[in-house]
Chains A and B, each alone.
Chain A
Amino acid sequence: MLTRTLRKAVRPLVTSVPRSDKFHPSTQSEFINELHMIDPMEIERLPVYRVMDRSGKILRENQDPKFTKEQCVKMYKAMIKTNEFDRVMYDAQRQGRVSFYMTNYGEEAAQIGSIAALNPDDLVYAQYREAGVIFYRGFTYQQACDQCYGNVDDKGAGRQMPVHYGSRELDYVTISSPLTTQLPQAAGSAFALRRAGEKRVVMCYFGEGSASEGDAHAAFNFAATLNCPVIFFCRNNGFAISTPVEDQYNGDGIASRAPGYGMMTIRVDGNDLMAVFNATVKAREIALSENRPILIEAITYRQGHHSTSDDSSRYRSVDEVNMWQKTDHPISRFRQYMMTQGWWSMEEDAALQKSLKKDVLIFPLVTAEKKKKPSIESMFDDVYDVLTPELERQKAELMDHLKQYGKHYNMDQFVK
């Protein structure tokens, strides 16, 4: 699309000079004999792929992914499950029960639509606002609560801040805070999996803000030049904390960058689960059959605050947030589709939300809260595969210190 449009823009100036592929190794270009700067404004904006409208009506029959009722209910429940978890954990943070939390409000369809399109063993690298993805794979409320509390059952051994989930079993690489570092890693993993002959893609999520980091450039270029079957999935939700996209980039979003790297791309309506699903199915197919990366840019809106340490009303209007919640909510859009099919009702909805709230609050949260933290000694584990002599020494010193001064520490909260 971009190439075609570009060609159209310069066509009148192209003379009949033969292709100049020997002119310079860096280009296959033709010569032109009139000076012409390409202005991005003369290039068509990349369109947004959409399957259903805001009322959940399918716009073109041939784009209908033809979900079964069971598929729809599974995906819908995953969105609601994420949403309910967010509400409870957000409140839990406000009450000081967990130290930190980040919600997924407004991005549920982008998460669930994309992960539902993959195989369960496709490797996922996420940023941090993709809880729906790991829930869809089978991560339980209990596991998520254990991570947020950093208790003895946390897979991460209580070492990272809340919402930094990870699970080897679910092929969901543990999240880290530094933005975009996972992108070149995803390319490397895709390369290694391809070489190992595995028919798996790597899915890599990131926000539009992180796309400004150098690692995004590195990843796109490496993935394209080294034939890596990776899907880069950008959640363009309009804000990087307080920074609106106008301060983030001056081009046509993130998707328009892909052709510059020789990478296929598509921009989708991120609040349209079906559009996200279709695009991801196609991207997976191309990535595996052609060993090349694809960039999907899902346009959505961050309906919640950036995190529990942020008050978004200081940099955007409450009216704007309300507008998105009322008129373009990914969950209600999908629910409307299901209700039109006769597959869901408001009564079922209320019952589901109620039962989920109970599932989060009564059981996992309280259970996670009551569990002890991992042993003090375990803080020395996993720095290396085995303890070094220096770490042994430091561990012995700390334990010796605690023998004398233990009463000044909250040692009883930790497993012995």
Chain B
Amino acid sequence: MIGVTRKTARALLSRGVNATAGSTRTHMHFKFQPDDAPAELGATEKTNMCNAIKSAIDIQLARDESTIIFGEDVKFGGVFRCTDGLMDKYGSDRVFNTPLCEQGIAGFGIGAAVAGACTIAEIQFADYIFPAFDQIVNEAAKYRYRSGNEFDCGKLTIRSPCSAVGHGAHYHSQSPEAYFAHTPGLKVCVPRSPIQAKGLLLSAFEDDNPCIVFEPKILYRAAEEQVPVGHYKIPLGKADILREGTDMTMLSWGTQVHVAREVAGIVEEELGISIEVIDLVSIAPWDRETVCNSVSKTGRCIITHEAPITCGFGAELQATITSDCFFDLEAPPARVCGLDTPFPHVHEPFYMPTKWKLIQAVKATMDA
């Protein structure tokens, strides 16, 4: 094993992506915008996202002895360092490596949850969750329903790094949330920040349904803010209104929220357009009420996500908004998304739903 570095880029080496051979790191396509932690959550500490995630897992391991966390390379701290030091603290029977086999990780996790353990399974990259698709979609999601509540795997949480990282190409960049949103029985969420990641994970651990938390890996180190040090939860299924506005609603989740926030600032300053920015947070189940109330108020809407546009989760939002807010709409709801190509390597800057594409869409929607 090569020396462990704390660079996200190096983590890609574990899957054979040579991040050092003549490649240059693309500059960040977003500006991380920290939030203030609610005062009632107590003392805070400046924390990046992977340490906030580690804190959530640490708290859970400490408060529930049945809790186990496992996956590929979890024991030495994880390729993104989200489990760093936890094996030393809790032992190799609670923080451990599995063989390199995603369907096994998911199946093993379901079984442990069925037997009553709080189970945290890590899939090293969301791009590699597909071998576990059958276990997640046919098994985890349907366990309670098909058994008439005789058995369930509600104590299972699957966490996995997702989305663009600048140079991840096809298999270190995907945002697969829409595949899972089509499956009743699962809860799926995507945090935008350290505060959110910790609070959502703690909710997922305690939630009595199988949950998938997709963690935008580009935020692991880039996102830093004052995170409450203790235990707190952020509710699943609830969207966040990050910025109030009157002319248009902009919907997003994960890293793309920061792009949307930046765009809202730019168009307000330069064009005087007031945008309400909403972080959907939860993909399944999603907060229809908050979203549709906002669009009914503003009359216009842009949905933006990194995943390909066709059948992306934006399509579900667009369809629902169109039917729920039809008589309040002043322009067709628009989508600014990834393209219908595999996620490219050198062409990543053109693939992404950039702030410039969003600004163009804002103007078109205002003019429609």
A residues within 8 Å of B by Cβ? Answer: 123, 154-157, 159-160, 164, 166-168, 173-174, 176, 178, 181, 183-193, 195-196, 214-215, 217-219, 221-222, 225-226, 381-385, 388-390
CB distance from A382 to the nearest CB of B (A): 5
B254 CB-CB contact with A under 8 Å = no
Cα A185 to Cα B121 with chains together (Å): 13
Which of chain A's residues has its CB closest to B97's CB? A225
Say whether B151 contacts A388, CB under 8 Å: no
Known A214-B131, A389-B285, A389-B288: A191·B108 in contact at CB below 8 Å? yes
B185 cross-chain contacts in A, Cβ below 8 A: 383-384
List 21 A–B pairs whose Cβ atoms lie within 8 Å, in order of A's numbering. Answer: A155-B148, A156-B146, A168-B151, A176-B142, A178-B138, A184-B103, A184-B135, A185-B114, A188-B109, A191-B108, A191-B117, A192-B115, A193-B115, A196-B117, A218-B101, A222-B99, A381-B149, A382-B145, A382-B148, A383-B184, A388-B285
* 0/1 string, B119-149, CB within 8 A of A gives 1: 1000000000001001100110011111111
B151 cross-chain contacts in A, Cβ below 8 A: 166, 168, 173-174
Say whether A217 contacts B101, CB under 8 Å: yes
Contact residue range for chain B?
35 or more
Cα A157 to Cα B103 with chains together (Å): 28
A190 cross-chain contacts in B, Cβ below 8 A: 111, 115
Which of chain B's residues 85-109 have a Cβ closer than 8 Å to chain A?
Answer: 93-94, 96, 98-99, 101, 103-104, 106-109
Select which of A176, A222, A389 is within 8 A of B146 by beta carbon. Answer: A176
CB distance from B301 to the nearest CB of A (A): 19
- Report the 3 A-B pairs with minimum CB-CB distance, sorted nearest first: A188-B111, A184-B107, A218-B104
Cα A186 to Cα B112 with chains together (Å): 8
Say whether A192 contacts B107, CB under 8 Å: no
Known A155-B150, A156-B150, A185-B139: A123·B104 in contact at CB below 8 Å? no
B116 cross-chain contacts in A, Cβ below 8 A: 192, 196
Say whether B288 contacts A187, CB under 8 Å: no
Which of chain B's residues 287-331 have a Cβ closer than 8 Å to chain A?
Answer: 288-289
Select which of A174, A192, A221 is within 8 A of B111 by beta carbon. Answer: A192
Say whether B288 contacts A168, CB under 8 Å: no
Select which of B66, B96, B154, B237 is within 8 A of A388 by beta carbon. Answer: B237
B152 cross-chain contacts in A, Cβ below 8 A: 385
B154 cross-chain contacts in A, Cβ below 8 A: 385
Say whether A215 contacts B103, CB under 8 Å: yes
CB distance from B79 to the nearest CB of A (A): 19
Select which of A167, A173, A196, A389 is within 8 A of B66 by beta carbon. Answer: A196
B188 CB-CB contact with A under 8 Å = no
A383 cross-chain contacts in B, Cβ below 8 A: 144-145, 184-185
Select which of B99, B107, B288, B289 is within 8 A of A188 by beta carbon. Answer: B107
Which of chain A's residues has its CB closest to B102's CB? A218
Say whether A159 contacts B139, CB under 8 Å: no
Say whether A181 contacts B107, CB under 8 Å: yes
Say whether A184 contacts B147, CB under 8 Å: no
Which of chain B's residues has its CB closest to A183's CB? B107
Cα A266 to Cα B129 with chains together (Å): 34
Cα A215 to Cα B66 with chains together (Å): 25
* 0/1 string, B204-248, CB within 8 A of A gives 1: 000011000000000000000000000000000100000000000
Say whether B112 contacts A222, CB under 8 Å: no
B68 CB-CB contact with A under 8 Å = yes
Say whether A225 contacts B184, CB under 8 Å: no
B110 CB-CB contact with A under 8 Å = yes
B111 cross-chain contacts in A, Cβ below 8 A: 184-192
Residue among A189, A192, A383 facing the most chain B CB atoms (10 A cut-off): A192
B139 cross-chain contacts in A, Cβ below 8 A: 176, 178, 181, 185
Select which of B101, B114, B150 is within 8 A of A189 by beta carbon. Answer: B114
Cα A160 to Cα B151 with chains together (Å): 14
A218 cross-chain contacts in B, Cβ below 8 A: 99, 101, 103-104, 107-108
Residue among B66, B134, B152 facing the most chain A CB atoms (10 A cut-off): B134
